[in-house]
């Protein structure tokens, strides 16, 4: 007599990915290394035996390399072999995001450029080939461009024309593949496009917004009463906050580094009274502002870090009410500064740091990892 096999247990995927822009992705070789070395290590920590979502970061060169049919097929085989799936793509940084100096170059080419349009449509086609038929996914993009670069007449019109072409390209992808790709514009302080913008939203449902909680905090934007209908993606992240005391400014100085842009704002009684394109000029100007001012800087700190001394994290903005609304969009953890934080806060291992952030976010999202192992680095607890 043959015993009838019982039902096969299908485990739910881990609920939230992390954005792979924390790893170098200038070419496909670097992307493969990030996946094989880091993403799988994080999966073992937080999702052993469960499908694991990936939020890819594909720079321009890496995207063109992945478009090779042979390489693309091999990647799909890799995903199946390792119980991973692509949940979205970060198509914001086009060039090297882990160069010696990135700063405002991260916004170029911007939406005035045909290169930005071609890159975005390529990523959209790749993403459509990596998700099931009938599914939808998002890719993030530059919020127009760095506003000080937009000096010539007609700049906004030209950028919107290219974005309209991208939206049309996504409609054509949906028609031919049955897969819906949305372009999620990610606003940042000092950039050309900000949420909401009816002119951009009128380009079609293929255009949405990526709400980065760190960026919103720097702009002193409340996360309450947002129009969630056009928010397609949420990046769970936090900024540095402090008072305008000499002690706080001294504690901020080690974070003024040469790689990334750290837009900084000062507010008093909820009104912004100071705005700087980077942390270094802000530190020079802050002594002239009231000590009661509240300072926030665009420096992505790990979600597992609540603060040190006079410095605090804005992670408290990620309330249960916020997570409840965020579930209507695609959510990911987005912290890319692990390699540049001051040494006293640097994690013992990157994989443990990322796993700790994922567990912190998943517990608040409404799910927890299947492992009880403590993964938070002691330096960031």
Its sign, for the CA torsion 150, 236, 339, 56, is negative
Per-residue pLDDT at 238: 98
> CB-based contacts of 307: which residues, under 8 Å, 6+ apart?
313
Neighbours of 305 (CB within 10 A): 26
Domain residue spans of the chain:
20-238+315-380
Question: What Rg do the C-alpha atoms of the chain give, in angstroms?
Answer: 21
Take residue 231 and report the two structure tokens written for it.
């928010």
- Give the list of residues 6+ apart from residue 84 with CB closer than 8 angstroms, or none: 35, 39, 40, 43, 51, 52, 53, 54, 78
Helices and strands, number each (H, E), in the chain: 12, 13
20-238+315-380: CATH topology: TIM Barrel (3.20.20)
Look at residues 112, 122, 46, 136 and name the one whose alpha carbon lies nearest to residue 84.
Answer: 46
Distance CA 260, CA 301 (A): 13
Pairing of strands 84-90, 52-57: parallel
Predicted pLDDT at 366? 86
Record the tokens describing residue 146, joined without a space.
């760095």
For residue 272, list its beta bridge partners. 267
DSSP annotation string for 212-254:
EHHHHHHTT--STT--GGGEEEEEE-EEEEEESSHHHHHHHGG
Mean pLDDT by 10 residues, the chain (381 residues): 54 96 96 98 98 97 98 98 98 94 97 98 98 98 97 94 98 98 98 97 98 98 94 98 98 97 97 98 98 98 96 97 96 96 87 97 72 33 28
Distance CA 236, CA 228 (A): 15
List strands edge to edge, sheet with 180-185. 52-57, 84-90, 136-141, 180-185, 207-212, 231-236, 330-333
Predicted pLDDT at 9: 63
Cα 262 from chain centroid?
Answer: 15
For tokens 């192992």, the residue is: 373
What DSSP element (H or E) covers 164? helix 155-177
CB 240 within 8 A of CB 299: yes
């Amino acid at each position: 007599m043959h015993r009838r096999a019982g039902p096969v247990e299908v485990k739910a995927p881990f609920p939230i990915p992390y954005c792979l822009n924390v790893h170098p992705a200038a070419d496909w070789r670097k992307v493969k290394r990030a996946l094989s070395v880091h993403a799988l290590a994080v999966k073992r920590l937080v999702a052993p035996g469960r499908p694991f979502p990936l939020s890819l970061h594909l720079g321009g060169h890496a995207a063109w390399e992945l478009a090779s049919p042979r390489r693309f097929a091999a990647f799909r085989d890799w995903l199946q072999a390792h119980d991973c799936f692509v949940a979205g793509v970060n198509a914001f940084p086009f060039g090297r995001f882990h160069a010696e100096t990135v700063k405002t170059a991260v916004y170029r080419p911007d939406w005035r450029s045909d290169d930005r349009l071609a890159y975005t449509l390529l990523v959209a086609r790749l993403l459509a080939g990596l998700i099931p038929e009938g599914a939808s996914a998002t890719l993030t993009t530059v919020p127009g461009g760095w506003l000080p670069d937009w000096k010539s007449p007609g700049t906004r019109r030209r950028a919107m024309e290219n974005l309209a072409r991208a939206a049309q390209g996504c409609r054509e992808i949906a028609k031919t593949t049955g897969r819906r790709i949305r372009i999620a514009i990610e606003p940042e302080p000092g950039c050309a496009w900000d949420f909401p913008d009816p002119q951009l939203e009128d380009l079609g449902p293929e255009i949405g917004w990526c709400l980065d909680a760190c960026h919103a905090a720097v702009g002193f934007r409340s996360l309450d009463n947002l129009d969630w209908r056009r928010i397609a993606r949420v990046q769970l992240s936090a900024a540095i906050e402090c008072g305008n005391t000499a002690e706080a400014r001294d504690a901020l100085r080690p974070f003024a580094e040469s790689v990334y842009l750290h837009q900084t704002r000062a507010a008093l009684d909820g009104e912004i009274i100071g705005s700087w394109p980077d942390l270094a000029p802000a530190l020079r100007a802050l002594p002239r502002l009231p000590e009661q001012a509240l300072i926030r800087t665009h420096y992505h700190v790990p979600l597992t870090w609540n603060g040190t001394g006079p410095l605090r994290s804005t992670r408290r903005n990620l309330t249960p009410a916020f997570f409840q609304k965020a579930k209507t969009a695609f959510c990911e953890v987005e912290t890319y500064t692990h390699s540049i934080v001051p040494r006293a806060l640097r994690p013992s291992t990157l994989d443990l740091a990322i796993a700790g952030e994922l567990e912190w976010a998943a517990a608040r999202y409404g799910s927890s990892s299947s492992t009880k192992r403590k993964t938070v680095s002691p330096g960031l607890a």
